Amino acid sequence: MPAVNPNILRWARETAGFDLATASRKLSLSESKESSAEDKLRSYEVGEKTPSRTLLLKMSKQYRRPLLAFYLHEPPRTGSRGEDFRTLSHSVDPSQEALVDALIRNVKARQEIVKDSLVAAQDRDPIEFIGTYRIDQGTQGLVERIRDSLNLDLVEYRKSRTQDDAFKYLRDSVERLGVFTLLLGNLGSYHTNLSTEVFRGFALSDNIAPFIVVNDQDAKSAWSVTLLHELVHLWLGTSGISGARLERAVEKFCDKVASELLLPETELTNQFRFSSLSTREGAIEAIDSFATERKVSSRFITFRLLQINAINQTQFDDFGIYFFKRWKDERNKQKIKARAAEGGPSYYLLKRHQVGAALLETSERLLQSGELSTTRAATVLGVRALKIEKMFTENNPE
C-alpha cells in the first residue's frame, strides 16, 4: 500500500467541517506531556508522523471518506452538487455542510449504479420531459404541463386520510414519470440529522435515472411542496440543492410553480377568509383550518398569502416563527411518546418508505435479471447485503 499523503489528511478533515480540536476529540487522540491532541493531529497532517491503519480507519469513519481516499496522490476536486440554489445564513455549522456533501455523494453513487444497470439491461427509454422548459417561458405553462403529466387531482389529494397518505398519492404520481424519490435527512443515524436550514431537498437531473431527495427531518406537511419544487428543477434540467430561504430567481420560480400546483391562486383569493387577518389569533386559526383541509402546512399558506400581498413580510416572519416553534414542540412530544411506546414500524417498513416504491421495484427487477449484484442492490437501497431479500419480502417486524 502506498504512503499516505499528509495533504489528504488535512483535506479530509477540512471537508468534513472539523477544526483540529474537534477532529482530535472525535478521533480520541490523547494528550501527553510533550504534545496536545491537536498537536498530534497536526503532526500527521504536515508529514512529521505517519498514521497507523487503526487511526486511518477512525479517520475514514469520522470524516466520512472511503479508506482508499487516504492513499490518493492528491486531494480530489470537490464533487459537484450541481448548482447550489441555497442562501445560507452565516450561522450554519460547517460540519452540516460536510454531511450534505456526504449525502449527495451517497445518492449520486446510487444514481450511477441504477443508470448503468438500466442502460445495460435496455430497461428504460429516455425520459422526455427532463430539461424541456425554460424559466423565461413563465410559470403558468409549466404548471399546466406538470398538472397534466401527473394527472394531479387536488380533490383526491385532499381526500387522503393522513398527511402521509396525501404525500404518497403525490409521490406515486411523480414516480410514474420515471423519477426515483428518496426521503433522506441524515446518513443513517440521528447523530447526522440535517436541518432544513441546510437543505430541504435536492434534484439530480438525468434522462434515464433522475433522483429527487426530500429531507424527512422537515414537517411531513412540507414534503409535498418540496417534492414538487424539485420536480420543477428536473423539468428545467437543473441538478442542485435547495434550502429554506428563497432568494434566488430559480428558487422563487420553482416555488411559485409548486405553490400553484398545490393551491391555485384563484382558490386562495376566492375561499380564504381575509377578514380573519385583522387579528393575529384569528389569522392563525383561519390559516390552520385552511391548511388542514388542503393537506399542506400552515407555513405554506402564509407563504401564499405573502405572494399575493395579503400579509406583509413582518407578519410572514412572525407567523413563521410561531408555526415552526409549534411544530418543533409537537415533534419533541411525539418523540417522547414513541420512545415510551412498545413496538413501532419495522426496520424494513421504514427503509421501504425511505427509498420509495419505484427504486425498490427497479432494484428487485434488476437483481433478478442479473444486472445488479446483491452488493450493488444493497448500495442502491442503503442497507447491508444480508438484508436485501427481506427488503423485498417483509413489511412486518422481525
Pairing status of strand 180-183 against strand 83-84:
unpaired
Q: What is the pLDDT of residue 276?
A: 96
Cell numbers placing 20 = 483540529
Evaluate if residue 171 carries a pLDDT over 90: yes
pLDDT digit string, tens, across residues 176-230: 999 999 999 888 877 788 888 788 899 999 999 999 999 998 989 999 999 999 9
Q: What is the pLDDT of residue 180?
A: 98
CB distance 365 to 380 below 8 Å: no
Residue 305 CB burial class (10 angstroms; 0-12, 13-18, ≥19):
buried
| Coil, strand or helix at 203 | strand
Would you place residue 383 in the very low, low, confident or very high pLDDT band (cuts 50, 70, 90)?
very high
Cα separation of 313 and 325, whole Å? 18
**For range 149-165, the mean pLDDT:** 96
Could you tell me the fold of the domain covering 6-77?
A: 434 Repressor (Amino-terminal Domain) (1.10.260)
Lowest-confidence segment of 13-27, 109-123, 296-310 by average pLDDT: 13-27
Which residues have C-beta within 8 Å of that of residue 62, sequence separation ≥ 6?
16, 18, 23, 26, 27
Rg of the chain, C-alpha, whole Å: 23
Q: Which residue, chain included where needed, has cell 479530509?
A: 12
pLDDT digit string, tens, across residues 330-343: 888 887 877 776 66
Would you place residue 76 in the very low, low, confident or very high pLDDT band (cuts 50, 70, 90)?
low
Which residues have C-beta within 8 Å of that of residue 299, sequence separation ≥ 6?
222, 319, 320, 323, 324
pLDDT digit string, tens, across residues 363-382: 999 999 999 999 999 999 99
Evaluate if residue 78 carries a pLDDT over 80: no
Q: How far is CA 153 from the centre of its chain?
A: 25
Q: Which residue, chain included where needed, has cell 493531529?
A: 41
Cα separation of 66 and 64, whole Å? 7
The residues spanned by each domain of the chain are 6-77, 102-262, 264-328, 347-393
Cα separation of 370 and 273, whole Å? 58
Higher-confidence residue of 336 and 29: namely 29
Q: What is the pLDDT of residue 247?
A: 56
Question: Whole-model pTM?
Answer: 0.80
Amino acid, single-letter form, for residue 266 = T
**The Cα angle at residue 260 between residues 176 and 129, in degrees rounded to 5:** 35
Amino acid, single-letter form, for residue 20 = L
Cα separation of 275 and 280, whole Å? 11
Pairing status of strand 180-183 against strand 240-242:
unpaired
Residue 302 Cα distances to 203, 206, 213, 214, 313, angstroms = 25, 34, 24, 21, 10
Across the chain, mean pLDDT equals 88
Instruction: Please name which of 191, 5, 357, 75 lies closest in space to residue 381, comparing C-alpha atoms.
Output: 357
pLDDT digit string, tens, across residues 81-136: 555 554 444 456 666 777 888 888 889 999 999 999 999 998 889 999 999 999 99
pLDDT digit string, tens, across residues 245-272: 555 788 889 999 999 999 999 999 999 9
Cell numbers placing 185 = 435527512
Q: How far is CA 170 from the centre of its chain?
A: 17
